[in-house]
Amino acid sequence: MSELRAPLVVVESLTEGEGNVRQPYIISEPLTGGTPNLRSPFVLNEPLTEGSPTLRQSLMFSEALTEGFRNLRMCFLFVECLQPVGPEEYMSTESFPGFGNSTINPAIPAALDPFNSKLPGLAFSVHKKPGFRTRISDAASGVEIRTALMQYPRWDYELTYEFLEDRSGAESSLKTILGFFLSMFGSFDTWLFKDPDDYLCDNNLCGYSDGVTTEFPFSRVVGGYRERIGQVDTTNTVHVYLQADEVRTIPATPGPYTITTTHAATFQEDGGVTKLGVPMTKVTGTPLTGQYAVNVLTGVYTFAAADQGVVVHINYRYTVDPADYTITMPNRLIFDSAPVEGIVTWSGQFFFVCRFTEDQQDFEKFYDKLWSLQTCEFRSVIA
């Protein structure tokens, strides 16, 4: 057989039973006994025969062919395997200096109390960027296949400190932030950041109770998006609520035509009443047919005498007794027994669990005993 060298060969149809393979940039070397010896860098295998998978293999090297079988060497072959990973254990309970709870009023972040801040040189401008990770595959036709790899975003922050005082003693703002960075070993350890613009949840959704589930994540709602929080702040008051749907019958004559809800002692908010599937109208005075009134202090509903004996659905929110659940760090709500079917919500404060983005910080001295930190970058972690 002659010896062939055929650069830039495109092999179309192969022997019977094999697919239609397009192989650009093929170098065909010595042919012996009718069997080619191929070296094929940059091979793209497109549709094979029925029942065979469709492969795309970049940087594939095909060497000796013996009796119709290929011996392959494949460089740069990556196999991605997505595995569920449990939440990272929080590593620190320390708060970023100047962003924990105020020492004067723990109900507000320290950053909202600048006169008592350890780091008064913080500039007004703050960058905050949510980020996801998406794998996008482009076909030759321009059609995209997108795979979301993250359920929750990571938040990137960038702060600027216009001045940091280099004093002797613990009051030094330079030594405060520098020592904090050193104690975290750069980007290794995690810490708590209370964003003064984003730290409070008011009746935010935790989940939907099915009468079986006992564990729910503490979440917050941003617009229409629900995100699991980093870590709940248990140093401030946390309230857990359940949305109840009680089926009751309006009492008959002689009345009074009132219904005291089961959880009247912890009644929080009226959610509406329906009669035969039709919403009733809420009023502040004496109700008429199809109307109701409610006392939010006592959890008592009042109806019209004409509606006596009618079955109604009373929807309301009540506070769950703290003895009926535990809070497990960093962000889990666990009931002692499964709550009744309904909506689980909560109110309270939370932290972002963060780490420094880099293992270095650039401090600049611009005057005697005065320094600046133009870029202090850190990122939330998904706990």
99 assigned to some structural domain: no
Q: Are 187 and 317 in contact (CB under 8 A)?
A: no
- For residues 140-151, average pLDDT: 94
Does residue 292 belong to any structural domain of this protein?
Answer: yes
Residue 293: the pLDDT is: 97
Q: Would the pLDDT of 173 be above 60?
A: yes
Q: Give me the pLDDT at residue 74, please.
A: 45
If asked whether residues 115 and 74 sit together in one domain, one would say no
pLDDT tens digits along 61-79: 444 444 554 544 444 444 4
What is the C-alpha separation between 304 and 312, in angstroms, rounded? 13
Q: What is the pLDDT of residue 55?
A: 41
Q: Are residues 115 and 190 in the same domain?
A: yes
Whether 301 maps to a domain, the answer reads yes
Residue 343 tokens read as 């909506």
Give the closest residue to 180 by CA, choosing from 233, 124, 119, 236: 119
The answer to whether residues 75 and 114 belong to one domain is no
- Residue 59: pLDDT band (50, 70, 90) is very low
For residue 42, is pLDDT > 50? no
Other Cβ atoms within 10 Å of 45 Cβ, number? 17
Confidence tier at 10 by pLDDT (50, 70, 90): very low
Q: What residue has token string 């946390």?
A: 238
Residue 357 DSSP class = S
Q: What secondary structure letter does DSSP report for 307?
A: G
Q: Does residue 47 sit within a domain?
A: yes
Look at residue 16 in the predicted model and tell me its pLDDT.
Answer: 47
Determine, yes or no, domain membership for 87: no
Say what the pTM is.
Answer: 0.73
Render pLDDT for 325-375 as a digit per residue (tens, 0 to 9).
999 999 999 999 999 889 999 999 999 999 999 999 999 999 999 999 999
Residue 49 has pLDDT above 70, yes or no: no
Domain count, the chain: 3
Residue 267 resides in a domain: yes
- The whole-number average pLDDT for the span 141-170 is 92
Q: What percent of the chain has pLDDT over 90?
A: 66
**What confidence score (pLDDT) does residue 66 get?**
46
**104 falls within a domain:** no
Cα 346 versus chain centre, distance = 17
Q: Is 169 left (phi over 0), alpha (psi -120 to 50) or beta?
A: left
Average pLDDT over residues 95-115: 88
DSSP 165-226: E--SSTT-HHHHHHHHHHHTTTTTS-EEE-BTTB-EEEEEEEEEE-SS--EEE-EEEETTEE
Could you tell me which residues are beta bridge partners of residue 355? 379
**Of 383, 382, 380, 353, nearest to 150 (Cα)?**
382
Please tell me the distance from the alpha carbon of residue 123 to that of residue 340, in angstroms, as a whole number: 49
pLDDT category of residue 44 using cuts at 50, 70 and 90: very low
Q: What is the pLDDT of residue 357?
A: 97
In a shared domain, residues 118 and 178: yes
Same domain flag for 129 and 184: yes
Same domain, 75 and 116: no
At 89 the pLDDT is 55
At residue 82, the pLDDT reads: 54
What confidence score (pLDDT) does residue 114 get?
76
Band the pLDDT of 127: cuts 50, 70, 90: very high
Domain interval for residue 272:
251-309
Does any domain span residue 324?
no
Decide if pLDDT at 21 tops 90.
no
pLDDT of residue 255: 81
Question: What burial letters (b/e) apply to 135-149, b meaning 16+ CB within 10 Å?
Answer: eeeeeeeeeeeeeee
CA–CA dist 212, 341 (Å, integer): 9
